[in-house]
Amino acid sequence: MSGPHHVPVLLDRVVALLAPALGHDGAVLVDATLGLGGHTEAVLERCPRARVVGIDRDPQALATSRERLASYGERFTGVHAVYDEIPDVLADLGLTGHEGVAGVLFDLGVSSMQLDLPERGFAYAVDAPLDMRMGSAGPTAADVLNTYSAAELARVLKEYGEERMARRIADAVVRERAREPFTTSGRLVALLYDVIPAPARRTGGHPAKRTFQALRMEVNDELAVLRRAIPAAIDAIGVGGRVVVESYHSLEDRLVKRAFADATRSTVPDDLPFVPEGAEPSYRLITRGAEQAAPAEIEENPRAASVRLRAVERTRSSRPNTSSGKGAE
């Protein structure tokens, strides 16, 4: 767990963005994607007056983090939930109300532990059951491959994996599953090598990367969950509170960008020469566009190459109607 590949992406920058909101006694950070607890551990270490509520849908990740963070005692609370359930989690812990929480952090995508456990089926480098569920409920990646129509599969691969060969791959999957259903990753990887032409395989990384990403996002309904979770997080923070999001997929980043833009947009007409008192936006962006990792970090941790970091802060007490998710479509 201490290996360099488990160091969270942009860890120092994430903590620096959260720290101003976590400087008072009892300040609560919601780590909405707890994973192995790397971000939470850094916050607990560097922000000694804060406590963290860590959410994860993966029971194994939650158990690992609870063990890792046990020395922090009551400053850490682990909760088994999906991160679009933030309002329910906060209500159960008695953390709703006027002041809200001080911060919410999202580090999206698959965790290091999930990639490192072959039986979870997230990694294409080893032959393993095609599961890919971040929790224990719902259809698996094998179910998607064996039951979706060619058109549905092509949509998933194109939309979530940005795979140019989506229809060709989908047609091949449908042909092959008629002979024998898909059960393990090795057979899918072999199919992808056969279907994707050699020139296309020489660019864009491993030929299975985009397909595996698309299947994972479909199995876990990741975009729909995120579409509900970001507005809920924005609504949950109190004045001075911050929401920080690390995205690794263009669709995720676009959704976050749109939700943040909605929260920070002025409702005053453009032709009005001044902003009336009390009409200012209730939130402000605290990153200029999407921040990216430096070349040195990318060299040490290749996962950092695709990260896009955005953050927003609540500046006043009146809240826009973000809870419906409007603007995050």
* pLDDT level of residue 110 (50, 70, 90 thresholds): low
* pLDDT level of residue 324 (50, 70, 90 thresholds): very low
Answer for the pair 79, 55: CB distance below 8 angstroms, yes or no. Answer: yes
Mean pLDDT value across residues 156-178: 95
pLDDT in tens, 34-57: 999 999 999 999 999 999 999 998
pLDDT of residue 296 exceeding 50: yes
214 and 231 belong to one structural domain: no
Which residue bears the tokens 């009146």?
318
Query: Could you tell me the pTM of the whole model?
Result: 0.83
pLDDT in tens, 219-242: 988 899 999 999 999 999 999 999
Count of residues in the chain:
329
108 and 239 belong to one structural domain: yes
Is 300 inside a domain boundary? Answer: yes
Distances (CA, A) of 256 to 134, 235, 290: 21, 14, 10
229 and 214 belong to one structural domain: no
- Domain boundary residue, one of 200, 219, 238: 219
107 is in an annotated binding site: yes
* pLDDT level of residue 303 (50, 70, 90 thresholds): confident
Answer for the pair 229, 105: CB distance below 8 angstroms, yes or no. Answer: no
* 242 contacts: CB under 8 Å, gap ≥ 6: 17, 18, 20, 21, 102, 103, 104, 286, 311, 312, 313, 314
284 and 298 belong to one structural domain: yes
114 is in an annotated binding site: yes
Is 329 inside a domain boundary? Answer: no
CA distance 264 to 283: 5
Is 301 inside a domain boundary? Answer: yes
99 and 226 belong to one structural domain: yes
Answer for the pair 69, 76: CB distance below 8 angstroms, yes or no. Answer: yes
38 is in an annotated binding site: yes
Is 298 inside a domain boundary? Answer: yes
| CATH number of the domain within which 228 lies | 3.40.50.150
For 237, counting Cβ atoms within 10 Å of its Cβ (0-12 exposed, 13-18 middle, 19+ buried), the class is buried
93 and 35 belong to one structural domain: yes
14 and 80 belong to one structural domain: yes
The mean pLDDT of the chain is: 86
Q: Which two tokens stand for residue 2?
A: 């201490």
Distances (CA, A) of 252 to 41, 153, 182, 213, 324: 25, 20, 28, 13, 18
Mean pLDDT value across residues 143-162: 96
Q: Which two tokens stand for residue 241?
A: 């509170």
Answer for the pair 107, 246: CB distance below 8 angstroms, yes or no. Answer: yes
Which pLDDT value is given to residue 158?
95
Amino acid at 279: A
Give the residue numbers spanning the domain of 276: 4-113+222-314
> Which runs of consecutive H residues, i.e. helices, occur in 36-165?
38-46, 59-68, 86-92, 112-116, 141-147, 150-161
Mean pLDDT value across residues 114-119: 48
* 20 contacts: CB under 8 Å, gap ≥ 6: 240, 242
* 310 contacts: CB under 8 Å, gap ≥ 6: 244, 245, 247, 253, 256, 257, 260, 285, 287, 289, 290, 291
- Domain boundary residue, one of 219, 249, 264: 219
Amino acid at 270: D
60 is in an annotated binding site: no
How would you list the strands of the sheet with 50-56, edge to edge?
76-80, 50-56, 27-31, 101-107, 237-247, 308-314, 283-285
| CATH number of the domain within which 161 lies | 1.10.150.170
Which pLDDT value is given to residue 81?
94
213 and 231 belong to one structural domain: no
Which pLDDT value is given to residue 171?
97
235 and 91 belong to one structural domain: yes
56 is in an annotated binding site: yes
35 is in an annotated binding site: no
- Domain boundary residue, one of 168, 195, 219: 219
CA distance 36 to 215: 22
Answer for the pair 48, 73: CB distance below 8 angstroms, yes or no. Answer: no
Nearest by Cα to 108 from 208, 22, 39, 5: 39
